Structure 1
Amino acid sequence: MIEVNRTVALSPERVFAVLADGWSYASWVVGASHIRKVDPDWPAVGSQIHHNVGPWPLVIQDATEVLAMEANSLLEVHARIWPVGAARVRVRLDPRNGGGCEITLGEEIADGPFRSLPKAAQATLFRPRNNESLNRLVDLAEGRSPQPSRPS
């Protein structure tokens, strides 16, 4: 899995509140352009966000499904962009002594025609995009009013 990380002065709960808001997905995931529907039990395992990827009018309609979730510490999803493929994406939130947390965003190709792409090539594609996604996630978490996350 290709990973990027960042340590922030935000609690894991504050960052997870953004992850738990499926409607915010297109605001921080680079490439997602429109959210059509969010399952009511998001981010429970098996729940989905139905989204568009890409610029209009060249959009692909697909969905992202939760594979694993631990409130305030982990969200792992299977993000589809079919027929291009699908990726497994993991966001891990690790609390730091004295406050704040380290956010780690990892991604790897899970399915599709690019699955055999060497890890070095995946890193070249994913690192800049995931650094920007991580920056957007942090900006959203910093801009939110403090609120407890929705446990699932």
Structure 2
Amino acid sequence: MARNERLIPASPERVFAVLADPDSYGHWVVGSDTIRGADDTWPAVGSRFHHRVGRFPLALNDHTEVIAMEPGRRLELHAKARPLGTAHVALDLERRGDATLVTMTEDAGDRITRLVFNPLTHFLVKRRNDESLRRLAELATP
């Protein structure tokens, strides 16, 4: 499992507002190219946004679905980029004074993907997520 933390100088409500905007994922999630649309109920449990991962000619269309959500506190996602695999991503927000500690954990989202998740994969995902959280902070910081 890849686990990353970042202290963002914004309130949990402000950080969650970015997470609640499906169009923001095209900017802050490394590897996500285009957000193709989203359910009107995003980020309600069971809602999805549709994305493109990668770049032409290796771009893949798929979706990410909300598994659990507590406004201002937690967002749990099942991200798909088939045939490359799926991921379980949790974003936990904890108020720290005027800032928010964001903890992002990512692991394989299905049995087949678990077969290819190894220490090297986790290392690469952790590096990618460091950059993703930096970009999230950029969007959330007033």
Instruction: Report how many residues are paired.
Output: 142
Q: Over aligned residues, Cα RMSD in angstroms?
A: 1.4
Q: Does the C-alpha gap of structure 1 residues 141 and 66 become closer, same or farther in structure 2, counting only changes over 3 Å?
A: same
- Residue of structure 2 in register with 1:103 after alignment: 102
CA separation in 2, counterparts of 1:114 and 1:7? 30
Tell me, which stretches of 5 or more residues in structure 1 are unaligned?
144-152
The answer as to 2:123 corresponding to 1:124 is yes
- Residue of structure 2 in register with 1:82 after alignment: 82
> Which deviations, in whole Å up to 9, do the C-alpha atoms of 1:72-129 show, x marking residues without a partner?
0101100000111100011110011x32110111100112643123552232121110
For the 8 Å contact 1:3–1:106, the answer to whether it is kept is: yes
Q: Which deviates further from its counterpart, 111-120 or 124-133?
A: 111-120
- Residue of structure 1 in register with 2:28 after alignment: 28
The DSSP-based 3-state class of the residue aligned with 1:46 is coil
CA separation in 1, counterparts of 2:117 and 2:49? 29
For the 8 Å contact 1:83–1:112, the answer to whether it is kept is: no
Calculate percent identity across the aligned residue pairs. Answer: 46
Tell me, which stretches of 5 or more residues in structure 2 are unaligned?
none
- Residue of structure 1 in register with 2:11 after alignment: 11
CA separation in 2, counterparts of 1:112 and 1:54? 23
TM-score (norm 2): 0.94
CA separation in 1, counterparts of 2:38 and 2:53? 15
For the 8 Å contact 2:86–2:113, the answer to whether it is kept is: no
Runs of 4+ more than 6 Å apart: none
TM-score (norm 1): 0.88
